[in-house]
Amino acid sequence: MDGFWAVVVAAGRGRRVGAGINKVLLPLMGRPVLAWSLGAFQRAAGAGLEGIVLVGGPDELEQFAEIVRVGGFDAVRSIVAGGERRQDSVSHGLAAVPAGARVVLIHDGARPFVSPELIKEVAEAAARSGAAVPLLPVADSLRRFDGGLVTGEVERDGVGRAQTPQGFRREVLEEVLTLLRRGGATTGPGADAAPPLTDESAAALRAGLPVAAVTGDPANLKITTAADLELASVIARGRCEYRTGTGYDIHRLVAGRPLVLGGAEIPSELGLDGHSDADALLHAVMDALLGALALGDIGWHFPPGDERFRGASSLNLLAEVMRLVRAAGAQVVNIDAMVIAERPKLAPHIPLMRERIAAAAGVDAGRISIKATTNERLGSLGRGEGIAATATATVLVPALR
């Protein structure tokens, strides 16, 4: 099929979650709900998705832009302000989709676990039928109730719970939005009997247009209540994995250079020699972080001899590594490092090093361990010719599929 576009609507207020903020900004395993949703569409970029338009509250656009930047969601082509009602937000989003786009998917940003497979299936069904909606078959028996009393049964065969993304050929979506703008069938004759229109595929159905049913996904839940958020946390945890990397570095001690270790300047007659500030400890930490995510090593990211990194503070390089770590959706669980030096005594400086690294990694200092040892006067390190460091980093990251 031709490519398709997605409008991710996330302008809701989420009062039912109990938080005062937009529910898509709430964290799931350290990552905003919205980042999970966008991540699924970003992964669909290789399978026909041409671009994403993100719709947020007018006062949230900067926060959304930051989530897009941090997550590296380059499939997001524009971020626009939503409107009063859902249909207004969808209209604003559609206006930012290029005119040539034939199929447009509308997704609720508060459904973080949509799969790239479902996205593709909905897009294909919409291209074929004009409109498509994922329906989740109902397993439970259904009852009507009123005032604490069961008042009747509902046949569950042939009933499904509507999810998003809902897909439309562009001309169908425009027709649907026009219908919604006019108040749909809810203001016409028989409006009392008809339930209110809750989404675009319902409006398409009301307009007598064919809507294809795609099998929904039980994990594709919508976060509406605090209980949903709790369930979502369980799913998010199940979709994350721990990864570990190791790092090692060594630099020679020379006269006339400051000694910088772990981002802290340490009084010493000799300092470490190197192209940057030669902070062997931070270099080992960076290699451990990159290693955990199989992102290469610091020699590749910051080539020695590159003028941009001459005399660079390794804390700045660590900040750049952390940008890559966050772009992978990962967060640091802990770092354990060892410095091997005959002198000077490092113990008094370790608390500051831990703080500096913790601040750069965006974690509590309790997750950063730094130990120091000597080389028992053995070999070059034992003669005090240099300082070496090793590090192990563990990160939590959405499982790579």
CA distance 255 to 272: 9
Comparison of 175 and 249: residue with beta carbon closer to Mg ion: 249
- Whole-number minimum distance, CB 249 to Mg ion, in Å? 4
Show the CA angle centred on residue 263, arms to residues 373 and 67, nearest 5°: 125
- Whole-number minimum distance, CB 314 to Mg ion, in Å? 8
CA distance 268 to 259: 6
When CB distances to Mg ion are compared, the closest residue is 283
The residue range among 1-9, 190-198, 277-285, 300-308 that interacts with Mg ion, by the rule CB under 5 A, is 277-285
DSSP class of residue 384? T
- Total residues binding Mg ion (CB under 5 A): 2
CA distance 240 to 207: 42
Comparison of 104 and 387: residue with beta carbon closer to Mg ion: 387
C-alpha closest to that of 285 among 223, 227, 360: 360
Binding mask 148-187 for Mg ion (x = CB under 5 A): ----------------------------------------
* Residue of 92, 243, 283, 326 that binds Mg ion (CB under 5 A): 283
The residue range among 50-58, 156-164, 186-194, 276-284 that interacts with Mg ion, by the rule CB under 5 A, is 276-284
Q: How far is residue 122 from each of residues 77, 85, 108, 116, 197, measured CA to CA in Å?
A: 21, 24, 14, 10, 20
* Residue of 249, 277, 287, 342 that binds Mg ion (CB under 5 A): 249
Q: How far is residue 139 from each of residues 159, 160, 190, measured CA to CA in Å?
A: 10, 9, 31
CA distance 388 to 400: 33
- Whole-number minimum distance, CB 287 to Mg ion, in Å? 9
- Whole-number minimum distance, CB 357 to Mg ion, in Å? 15
The residue range among 15-23, 97-105, 278-286, 342-350 that interacts with Mg ion, by the rule CB under 5 A, is 278-286
Chain positions contacting Mg ion, by CB under 5 A: 249, 283
